[in-house]
Amino acid sequence: MYLKKLEIYGFKSFADKVELEFNGGIAAVVGPNGCGKSNIADAIRWVLGEQSIKNLRGNKMEDVIFAGTSTRKALGVASVIITFDNSDGTLPIDYEEVAIGRKLYRSGESEYTINGTPCRLKDINDLLYDTGIGKDGYSIIGQGQVEKLINSRPEDRREIFDEATGISKYKYKKMETLKR
């Protein structure tokens, strides 16, 4: 499976519709400070279901919608669609291409879609569970995260390894069983 396409409209600094295509190799995004490189990573996190605005570097969820500039009006909606090539069947769904979408209106109304069909956030979480690409997977390493890993306490670092190797879910299940 690989990231095939990212469509961004009205998300943070992306006032115009932008389509980024990837071909399965390595892609690098370069540009001057403040041009929107990290906003692309934020868009990926967001569309994969991120609920913490702090992780998206904002104060309230509305901050992900294009806020306008001195020459441009603010927009009323942010929309991101991420398309994965699923021809190897990594995602447990019978499609060669899987497009996950998320929309947020200024009114607070929001919408998630899988291949254009409205769904719940839970459906997206279920689809990505254990693939390593969910919002809590380690497919996105943010600025400062490596430093944090190096400087963290051994107990906390272990948690990260447990998560990355898929051990946490067994620990969680064991904890749940012992509670009963």
Which single residue is written with the structure tokens 């609920």?
51
Give all strands (DSSP E) within the chain, no chain letters. 2-9, 18-21, 77-85, 97-105, 110-114, 117-119
**Are the C-beta atoms of residues 125 and 134 closer than 8 Å to each other?**
yes
- Tell how strand 18-21 and strand 77-85 pair up: unpaired
Interface with ligand ATP (CB under 6 A), residue from 16, 28, 30, 33: 33
CB 75 within 8 A of CB 8: no
Is 12 one of the binding residues for ligand ATP (CB under 6 A)?
yes
**In the complex with ligand ATP, which residue's Cβ is closer, 31 or 116?**
31
Residue number with the shortest CB distance to Mg ion? 38
Question: Considering the rule CB under 6 A, would residue 13 count as an interface residue with ligand ATP?
Answer: yes
8 burial via Cβ count (<10 Å: 0-12, 13-18, 19+): buried
Q: Which part of the chain contacts ligand ATP (CB under 6 A), choosing from 61-69, 96-104, 152-160, 166-174?
A: 61-69
- Spell out, one character per residue from 24 to 63, where the chain touches Mg ion: x when CB under 5 A holds, - when not: -------------xx-------------------------
Residue 74 DSSP symbol: P
Q: How far is the CB of 15 from ligand ATP (least distance, A)?
A: 7
Phi, psi of 9 (to 5 degrees): -145, 125
Per DSSP, the three-state class of 105 is strand
> Which residue in 4, 43, 44, 66 binds ligand ATP (CB under 6 A)?
66
Task: Compute how many residues bind ligand ATP; rule: CB under 6 A.
Answer: 14
- 131 binds Mg ion, rule: CB under 5 A: no
115 lines the binding site for Mg ion (CB under 5 A) = no
Binding-site ranges for ligand ATP (CB under 6 A): 12-13, 31, 33-39, 63, 65-67
Binding-site ranges for Mg ion (CB under 5 A): 37-38
